[in-house]
Amino acid sequence: MSVDTPRRIVLLRHAKAEWSQESDHKRPLAERGRKEAPVAGRKLADSGTDFDLALCSTAVRTRETWKLAVHEFPHRPRTVYEERLYDASLGDLIAVFNETPDEVRNLLVIGHNPGMHAAVDALSGSAAGEELARVARDGFPTAAYGVVEFSGAWKSLGHGAGRLVEYWTPND
């Protein structure tokens, strides 16, 4: 696959989690989250994007979100549970994205805020329609996702390299 191949990175925030006495890493999904995750999965499946790889934080709430969302997909992509996605800064996230093999055309990342919001904002040099304004106005609620398209090698993905082509929240 050429490094000039158009690529997609979809940044999905985990669904609504419970507040519990457990450590933050072990917090499970709340009932609302167990309803949101399959809806997000169905919406992603309906987009027709065939994901080559999914990177998922190791936190309980992200793993549960992924398990419920991927059930809606026609084909399950290869999944890697990546510890560095938990509590990751924007720089940490971009470093992980830059390690993606160039054979991957479409990447799905299941992670946390503020990182998912920051990544969508930072990677999007432009946007389709009012998508960036919507992200700025609405924030990045649980189970929301942004789709950023770019061309080039994954190692070149950085600030302003892409175009935000879709932003979806469960309230849409």
109-141 pLDDT, tens digit per residue, is: 999 999 999 999 999 998 988 998 999 898 999
pLDDT of residue 72: 97
Decide if 6 contacts 149 (C-beta within 8 A): yes
Q: Which residues contact 2 (CB under 8 A, 6 or more apart)?
A: none
Which residues partner with 146 through β-bridges? Answer: 11, 167
The whole-angstrom separation of Cα 94 and Cα 109 is 11
pLDDT of residue 20: 80
Q: Which CATH superfamily hosts domain 6-168? A: Phosphoglycerate mutase-like (3.40.50.1240)
- Which residues define the annotated binding site for substrate? 61
11 token code pair: 């940044």
Decide if 11 contacts 85 (C-beta within 8 A): no
Decide if 160 contacts 123 (C-beta within 8 A): yes
- Return the DSSP state at 88: -
Residues of the chain with pLDDT below 70 are: 1-3
The alpha carbon dihedral of 123, 129, 132, 138 has a sign of negative
C-alpha radius of gyration, the chain, whole number: 15
- Which residues define the annotated binding site? 61
